[in-house]
Amino acid sequence: MAIYEQFKHKCAEEVAVQGADPVLGRASREWINLANARKYSYHFEWLGRPIIQYPQDILAMQELIWLVQPDLIIETGIAHGGSLIFSASMLELNAFCGGPQNAEVLGVDIDIRAHNRVAIEAHPLSRRVSMIQGSSISPEITAQVKAKAAGKKSVLVCLDSNHTHEHVLAELEAYAPLTSVGNYCVVFDTLIEDMSAEMFPDRPWGPGNSPKTAVWEYLKTHVEFEIDKGMQHKLLITVAPDGYLKRVR
Ligand SMILES: C[S@@+](CC[C@H](N)C(=O)[O-])C[C@H]1O[C@@H](n2cnc3c(N)ncnc32)[C@H](O)[C@@H]1O
């Protein structure tokens, strides 16, 4: 085995042990609970745009985008545009390194605020970004996204909009099939299922009604996807436990 493969093999063994470590698991969950109460995930930027993610998940997405070399990334949930600009920047780097030259990211949001749209469209990487305003599960919007995905070779999907079970399940039904075999459909904020209901006093979602329950429901009838447990065991601190879905067939 080449040295790199040996190293990766050793890492995989270490990650499995790490993922099964109950003390580290409890400490990570406790840290997440404390950090979430401080709105930790709201305080980061990517190339000048606020990105509502944990740094660990941003690094995970970098690994995936390099691995799968998408020519299209579909994202639901734009907010300030940080995740769109992040994806655009990764696609730019892939292109610079000889990957797909015309890869792009398509964002969908029910409410693209004017100031966010202006800033995203003025960004140096905006040529790789397009946006659609509307509910991600409305038939007119899903039709537009499907049209954009037609003919693409490697499609990566990220779901990060309304976090109720019903909405995420509808998003999975609409968008997960666009994921190319070998690529990923990433469902963010599955973490909600593992938190206390008091964390979401003014939200329609919470434990029992979350992206994670939607993932579990979807996977009952979609054997073409498997949860990449290795990713969450590696990250430990992630908003997407059971949310990194790999399309295996
Ligand atoms: C958590 S934020 C997205 C964060 C962004 N992905 C990032 O990493 O910075 C959720 C976004 O979903 C949008 N949203 C809520 N309901 C939606 C729906 N039905 N369809 C599309 N977007 C929706 C909200 O307007 C909000 O901008």
CB under 8 Å to 127, separation ≥6 — which residues?
A: none
Residue range 104-143, pLDDT digits in tens: 999 999 999 999 999 999 999 999 999 999 999 999 999 9
Q: Tell me how far the alpha carbon of residue 10 lies from the centroid of ligand 1, in angstroms.
A: 38
Tokens of 65: 């985008």
Find where tokens 């990060």 sit: 160
B/e letters for 92-120, b = 16+ CB within 10 Å, e = fewer, are: bebeeeebbeebbbbbbbbebeeebeebb
* Residue 82 alpha carbon, nearest atom of ligand 1: 9
Tokens of 78: 């734009």
Share of the chain above pLDDT 90, in %: 97
What does the pLDDT read at residue 111? 98
Q: Tell me how far the alpha carbon of residue 77 lies from the centroid of ligand 1, in angstroms.
A: 3
CB neighbourhood size of 166 (10 A): 15
Find where tokens 């390194």 sit: 97
Q: Tell me how far the alpha carbon of residue 138 lies from the centroid of ligand 1, in angstroms.
A: 14
Cβ contact 128:104 at 8 Å: yes
Burial of 224 (0-12, 13-18, 19+ CB in 10 A): middle
| Residue type at 17 in one-letter notation | V
Residue range 79-97, pLDDT digits in tens: 999 999 999 999 999 999 9
Q: What is the DSSP letter of 138?
A: S
Q: Tell me how far the alpha carbon of residue 110 lies from the centroid of ligand 1, in angstroms.
A: 7
C-alpha closest to that of 49 among 91, 103, 86, 93: 86
* Residue 86 alpha carbon, nearest atom of ligand 1: 8
* Ligand 1 site-directed mutation target among 156, 160, 171, most atoms within 8 Å of CB: 160
Mean model confidence pLDDT for the chain:
97
Q: Residue 199: pLDDT above 90?
A: no
Q: Residue 1: pLDDT above 90?
A: no
Q: Residue 28: pLDDT above 90?
A: yes
* Ligand 1 site-directed mutation target among 74, 161, 200, 210, most atoms within 8 Å of CB: 161
Residue 106: strand pairing partners: 74, 130
Query: Which residue ranges have their beta carbon within 6 Å of ligand 1?
Result: 51-53, 76-80, 82-83, 108-111, 135-136, 160-162
Q: Tell me how far the alpha carbon of residue 51 lies from the centroid of ligand 1, in angstroms.
A: 11
C-alpha closest to that of 188 among 30, 87, 61: 61
C-alpha closest to that of 66 among 46, 89, 94, 106: 94
Tokens of 30: 């406790």
* Residue 75 alpha carbon, nearest atom of ligand 1: 6
What does the pLDDT read at residue 85? 98
Cα(147)–Cα(165) distance, integer angstroms:
26
Find where tokens 């709201």 sit: 42
pLDDT band at 201 (very low <50, low <70, confident <90, very high): confident
Residue range 138-159, pLDDT digits in tens: 999 999 999 999 999 999 999 9
Q: Tell me how far the alpha carbon of residue 101 lies from the centroid of ligand 1, in angstroms.
A: 28
Q: Residue 235: pLDDT above 90?
A: yes
